Chain A
Amino acid sequence: MNRFTAAVAIPVFLACAAAANAAPASTMLGGVKGAVKAPTGEPLEGIMVQLISKETNIRTTVYSDRDGHYEFPKLNPGQYTLRIARPREFQPFVKENVTINGSPSLDDITLTRVTKLELLPPTRDIAAQMTGTEWLQSLSGTGEDKRLLTINCNFCHSYQQIFRNHYDEHGWTEIVHRMTHGAGSPLILQRPAGRFNDTLEAQLVKWLATVRGPDSGEPQFVTLPRPMGRATHAIITEYELPRLELATHDVSGDAQGHIWYSTHRSSYVGRLDPKTGKVTEFHVPGVAEGSLPGTHWIHVDPRGIVWGSENWAHNIWRLDPKTNQFSRVHWNVPEPINAPMGGNYALDPDGHIWDVRRNAVTSTDALTGEILRKIPTKKFAATYGSAVSADGRYFGGGAWPRDGVVVADVKTGEVFEGACSPNCGPARGEFDPDDNYWAGGRGGELVEFDIKKKQVVEYRVPTPYTALYTAHPDKNGEVWAGESHSGRYARFNPKTGEWVEYVLPEPYGFDRESWIDNSTTPVTVWYTDHDGWITRIQPLD
């Protein structure tokens, strides 16, 4: 490089780098703006500034950038509550009755730390804001103790739901036994064999009774870094649902822009209108006596028909929203009622349902339950997830609780059963535009089955103690996945290897199923947190 080239190239490069790091001038913004700073006047980056509509209770959250500036999208005029979501190391900030009308600037927000020390005091309000990752980083214990918990307890609830408790050893023994021997999340059927052997179960109990025993006290809290740079370029919108304790599970969008959600342990499903926040509930007709109601998988097909799987009552239902009529086919499985029947299915372009059960990739007539085709598997008897590529050629599924994926070429009848590393646990996922299958690994990694090379590739999420459940490639080939237990939502670019982790306003990110709206640019990501609300993520770039 000669001097002239360097003189031009270096400033241009620096200018481009600065532009890439600065908040994008997005057409999605243009609402009220302001700044967040410390009492010293220093700008604070990565603070989640939130406006809650008094009329709808819809929550809109944006992040402060490295200059401390934040900017909202244009919101409907009205009264709002302005607050800092998950202030964590700062004193809470809540300002009621803020009038939004147009796009004026708001007063600067000054945040004061709760302590001058690095670790946070264990008040209940702070403990309640901790992610599972922060709990695990803060509690004493060996790596093996924590590994036992993260491998065996990441499926059904947040880690906060464990660590908010104190029990003696007898209590932890009873609870861990119930949890690890119960079938599915309702735990109704108890099985003699648990998720792991008696010795390891006793080891986990011993650790829990030590760190969360009657006299163990509360830990000083270690905190994860706040988001920076590109991870602050997003708008997060959260929607309330009409009922509590729904254990919301899947979301799926329809052609009218509505978001459908399933509820795991109740007989209601719902349809959210994102423009108003209004939800229309649909009551799934009663199930057989002795069966727990609840819908696991929900999917809107191209004709607008909504499909759901009743994991405990063992049915597939179908709803025509034009007539509000449900119809149902009983799913013939050998599992007893109230034990999971498989839960996750995929519809192909012909309207047939695909899954892997009993050593076969299986296609079933969705209207009759008649089995249409079986392609035998050799290594994995079943998959937890089910997906079909856009053209219907490939089936893919994560084999959790086994460590691998099953991908079948429906056209040739070839089946590929790729293994991944111990405890990677691929669960649900989807195909990318190049027909590579991606699954969310319970062990905290994205698991890709490269369709050209016919091999498994793993990509570990940067934040420790994270578990993934599902993975969704978008139209550009970027892959999205909710980070259970670390309160973040991950975006991964396989071409560059770049991870962006959007920190969420609540410390869970307990994503059961996501849906990507590819009709927008950038894409829009929807997920439902298992604790009962629906979240929309709008990246600004």
Chain B
Amino acid sequence: MGSRLAKLVLAGTAVAVVVVLGLFIGRRPPDVAANAPAAPVKQALAPAPQPPFADPYQRSISIYNFRKAAMSGDDRGREIFYYKCWFCHNEFAKGAPPLKGVFQRQQLSSGRAATVDGIKDEIRNGGPGMAAYKYVLNEADLNDLVGYIRDGCCWDSNSPPPNPRYRGNATD
């Protein structure tokens, strides 16, 4: 009997948690959130950086690791931005805010701070309309990505980045 009651309580608690979480997740945030944002998660859950690959010439490995343009830094951040951010946050699409000048805003539309930590937190945890990237982008990825958003953002379709593997001098 006690075991059955415990199961019922457990099930009821689980249902309540799901309902509350569902209500919470289903809410679209106002432009300026009234509530203070959740504490930032300091560590991404994605795999830690791995040593540079043994064969730097296999393009697919560079592609897989977002390292076609550079091993690290803003150029790598731009590559991550293009694949993980641009297809929603671009100058043409409606819905997701453009990210140019995001550091000059008072706060993000989610209410998180428009700072390095706040933006990393936003990317890690996502929200309505946005995936949580903490399972796929590690700290090194986030550092490169957020550095680019701060210093080099944003993508220009009229000027795709140079390919460091190209040896000729392209002429126009």
Q: Which residues of A contact B (CB under 8 A)?
A: 50, 52, 55-57, 81, 83, 85-87, 91-94, 124-125, 127-129, 160-161, 164-168, 170-172, 174-175, 178, 182, 186-190, 213-214, 240-246, 263, 265-268, 270, 276-283, 286, 290-294, 338, 506-508, 531-533
Contact = CB atoms under 8 A, between A and B. Distances in A.
A510 to B, nearest CB: 11
Given A160-B63, A186-B92, A240-B165, A167 B132 contact: yes
Contact of B59 (A92, A280, A282, A531): A531
B98 to A, nearest CB: 13
B95 interface: yes
A280 B132 CA distance: 41
Contact of A293 (B57, B87, B158, B161): B158
Interface in B134-172: 135-136, 157-158, 160-163, 165-172
A276 B169 CA distance: 11
A125 B69 CA distance: 18
A268 B50 CA distance: 35
Contacts of A86: 58, 60
Given A56-B168, A266-B160, A244 B61 contact: no
B172 A283 contact: yes
A83 B25 CA distance: 50
23 contacts: A55-B167, A56-B167, A56-B168, A94-B56, A128-B61, A165-B135, A166-B135, A171-B126, A171-B132, A171-B135, A187-B87, A188-B92, A190-B94, A244-B79, A245-B160, A267-B157, A276-B168, A279-B168, A280-B171, A280-B172, A281-B171, A293-B157, A338-B92
B87 to A, nearest CB: 5
The SS class assigned to the B binding surface is: loop
B103 interface: no
Identify the interface centre among A86, A128, A294: most chain B CB within 10 Å of its CB. Answer: A128
Lowest 9 A-B CB distances belong to which pairs?
A171-B131, A128-B64, A242-B170, A92-B55, A278-B168, A166-B135, A243-B160, A128-B61, A92-B54
Contact of B170 (A124, A281, A291): A281
Interface of B: 25, 45-47, 50, 53-61, 63-65, 68-69, 79, 82-83, 87-88, 90, 92-95, 126, 129-133, 135-136, 157-158, 160-163, 165-172
A129 B126 contact: no
